[in-house]
Amino acid sequence: MTVTVRFAPSPTGRLHAGNIRTAIINALFARKAEGNFILRLDDTDKERSTQEFAQGIEEDIAWLELNWSDKVRQSDRLARYDAAVEKLKEMGRLYPAYETPEELELKRKRQLARGKPPVYDRAALKLTDDEKAALEAEGRTPHWRFRLEPRDVVWEDLVRGQQHVDAGSLSDPVLIRGDGTFLYTLPSVVDDIDLGITHVVRGEDHVANTAPQIQLFEALGADAPRFGHHNLLVGADGAALSKRDKSLSIQGMREEGLDPLAVVSYAATIGTSDPVAPHDDLNELAKAFDFGKLSRAPARFDPNELRLLNAKLLHARPYDAVAEQLETMGVTGGRAFWDAVRGNLTTLAEAKDWWAVVTGPVEPSIEDPAFCGTAGDLLPPEPWNEETWGAWTGAVKAETGAKGKALFQPLRLALTGKPHGPELKQLLPLIGRTRALSRLRGEVA
């Protein structure tokens, strides 16, 4: 059996940390099993789905290098859903119901007041043809419910172990709205059948949907796939993630300059028994992936922890791995520049800021003009290398008597305009004597 999984976002918004984690888990599982990872755009919501969001989703997934083997759109498959509807109607498993939302809410409140579970009472099944016609004459259009069989539904969850639900305790789910549009369940099941999905891996908020879906698979003459429900993400403070927080969106992470491998590494390892650490590539992550490592407790997503992980990844990354990206950013300092600054980067985009420090113009910060003037007079002739900084500061120390912070901090502020940064023994040769001398004299250079 070839493992085939899918990630099924709705193009009604951009991807964020919560739903991209589902994509990452699916993609790593498929990669480990040498199977298929399908992108399915659930775009049947005509009012909210847009081509712009669909394109953004594809860009986000491509940026994370979660390469899909196939892509489908539900809007292209409406005829298949209509065929499934007719089959279910012929079997007597799909029936029309005419209650308004207000009437259903009133029923629910009455049941709760009587101490009963708020389960749909199947009143629609008792309607005669004449009663249905009368309701439709009033202008009512039916929604359609899937009739559940009152039996125990059991499945072995990939994460949660054996699960069972008494379907007789559930309301018959609505598959088609009164306006004729589909809810999530029927198109999803039809797609899973047609695409040969072997494993449905999703968040644990979908556990309650599983029993009705298994019965729907069976009603349509198919074996249900394996199900796995992973733990959900919460914020660093334990509160629910906000979809409006741009730092949690994949688009925001891209714009911030985070590395896609850091994002994948973080999302794949939080909430597991593995340590949160950067990985060299997706194959390494996939090899380590195991459903048994997933915790049942919610996983905390901390943007600051992600940034620290991103920094660790950059600090260990060789020049050849970033050369093309640096060139695209206009950073042409080569290997010497990368070796000088990478230990101080949180995101790759910050390399551009340090390249601006090297090439100027920089407005120096001069606390003691006399001291900096003396230091400028003692600058040795070029060529410079990593030994230059030590030799020069030694000479300045001997001439002025300054040492420690009193020696090094004024020089850093004058040369870079910043109180902290890369080691100047590496940065100074890149700045060069002409710019260094100008900055020590208080000139913008």
Q: How confident is the model at residue 391 (pLDDT cuts 50, 70, 90)?
A: very high
182-209 residues labelled b (16+ CB within 10 A) or e (exposed): bbbbbbbbbbbbebebbbbbbbbeebeb
State the pTM of this model: 0.89
Find the farthest-apart pair of alpha carbons in the chain and give their distance in angstroms, rounded: 107
Pair 272, 292: CB distance under 8 Å: no
> What's the pLDDT band for 158 if we cut at 50, 70, 90?
very high
Say which amino acid occupies 304: N
Pairwise CA distance, residues 414 & 437, whole Å: 10
Q: Can you tell me the distance from the alpha carbon of 160 to that of 230, in angstroms, rounded to the nearest whole number?
A: 8
Indicate the pLDDT class of residue 242, thresholds 50, 70 and 90. confident
Mean pLDDT score, 36-60? 93
Residue 280 pLDDT level (bands cut at 50, 70, 90) = confident
What is each CA distance from 259 to 16, 249, 278, 322, in whole angstroms?
A: 15, 14, 10, 11
Question: Domains of the chain by range and CATH?
Answer: 79-229 (3.40.50.620), 360-440 (1.10.10.350)
User: Dihedral sign, CA of 375, 380, 383, 388?
Assistant: negative
Q: Is the pLDDT assigned to residue 206 strictly greater than 90?
A: yes
- Indicate the residue type of 132: K
68-73: long-range pairs with CB below 8 Å, 24+: 68/7, 68/37, 68/38, 68/39, 69/36, 69/37, 69/38, 70/36, 70/38, 70/39, 70/195, 71/38, 71/39, 71/40, 71/41, 72/38, 72/39, 72/40, 72/41, 72/191, 72/195, 73/40, 73/41, 73/43
Residue at 281: amino acid letter: D
Q: Which residues pair with 156 in a beta bridge?
A: 162
pLDDT at residue 244 tops 80: no
- Whether 217 shows a pLDDT value over 80: the answer reads yes
Q: Quick one: pLDDT at residue 214?
A: 98
- With a cut of 90, say whether residue 240 has pLDDT above it: no
pLDDT in tens, 252-267: 999 888 999 999 999 9
* pLDDT number for residue 216: 98
**416: part of which helix (H) or strand (E)?**
helix 405-416
Within a 10 A sphere around the Cβ of 420, how many other Cβ atoms? 8
Q: Is the pLDDT of residue 139 over 80?
A: yes
Confidence of residue 375 (pLDDT cuts 50, 70, 90): very high
pLDDT of amino acid 176: 97
Tell me the helices (H) and strands (E) count for the chain, helix number first: 19, 12
CA distance 295 to 361: 51
Peptide bond into 118 cis (omega under 30): no
HSE at residue 381, side-chain half, CA atoms within 13 A, is 0
* pLDDT at residue 44, as a whole number: 87
* Residue type present at position 145: R
| pLDDT > 70: percent of the chain | 100
The mean per-residue pLDDT over the stretch 180-193 comes to: 96
Region 423-439 average pLDDT: 97
CA 110, 111, 115: angle at the middle one, nearest 5? 115
Mean pLDDT value of segment 363-372? 96
Contact 334, 340 (CB under 8 A): no
Spatial CB neighbours of 131, under 8 Å, sequence gap ≥ 6: none
162 - beta bridge partners? 156
CA dihedral 67, 71, 73, 77 (to 10 degrees): -150
User: Token digits for 269?
Assistant: 């390892």
Per residue in 323-356, pLDDT (tens digit) is 999 999 999 999 999 999 999 999 999 999 999 9
Residue 126 has pLDDT above 90, yes or no: yes
243 has a pLDDT exceeding 80:
no
Q: Which whole number is the average pLDDT over 360-365? A: 95
Give one DSSP letter per residue of 336-354, joined into a string: HHHHHHGGG-SSTTHHHHH
Which SS3 state, helix, strand or coil, does residue 313 take?
A: helix
What residue type is 350 in one-letter code? E
The 10s digit of each residue's pLDDT in 287-312 is 999 999 999 999 999 999 999 999 99
The pLDDT value given to residue 241? 82
pLDDT tens profile 227-236? 999 999 999 8
Mean residue pLDDT of the chain comes to 95
DSSP SS3 for 366? coil
**What is the DSSP secondary-structure string of 239-287?**
SBPPTT-GGGBHHHHHHHT--HHHHHHHHHHTTBSS-----S-HHHHHH
Q: What pLDDT score was predicted for residue 247?
A: 79
Q: Is the pLDDT of residue 279 over 90?
A: no
- pLDDT recorded at residue 246: 78
Report residue 114: phi and psi, to 5°: -90, 5
Candidates 383, 361, 381, 334; CA nearest to 439 is: 361
- Residue whose C-alpha is closest to residue 184's, from 169, 206, 156: 206
